[in-house]
Amino acid sequence: MVEYLLTAGELRSCLVTNSAIERGLRDKETKQQVLSLLNALENGFYKTLLKARKDGELSTELDLKHIANYLTSSMQGLLVIGKVCSERTALEAINKVTLSILTDNN
């Protein structure tokens, strides 16, 4: 994600994020589409976390549903920050903190 934000040029962005910010409060259909796409993203994170747990890479103490939700919101936040910040160290620091939740309880 950081690499994308640093190399995609001025148009670096995410349609889901932009739609949520620009139209999500005013347009019911947009809001429903954004929620559907965010739910799909969260489900993808959840399935990946389940596989990692099955492979012994994650603690059984972690609440994977909550972590999937957190990763989804963090990713969207990173996309927003990345629209105005193109400093690799700042973006990588966000990623480092985000991913630390996977190992702090391991």
d(CA 66, CA 40): 15
In the 8-state DSSP scheme, what is residue 11? G
Which tens digits make up the pLDDT trace of 26-35?
Answer: 888 888 888 9
Indicate the pTM of the whole model.
0.84
Angle of CA points 92, 77, 48, to nearest 5°: 75
Q: Considering only residues 54 and 15, tell me which one the structure prediction assigns the higher pLDDT.
A: 54
- Going from N- to C-terminal start, the domains of the chain cover 2-100
- Closest to 47 in 3D by CA, of 31, 68, 20: 68
pLDDT at 11 over 70: no
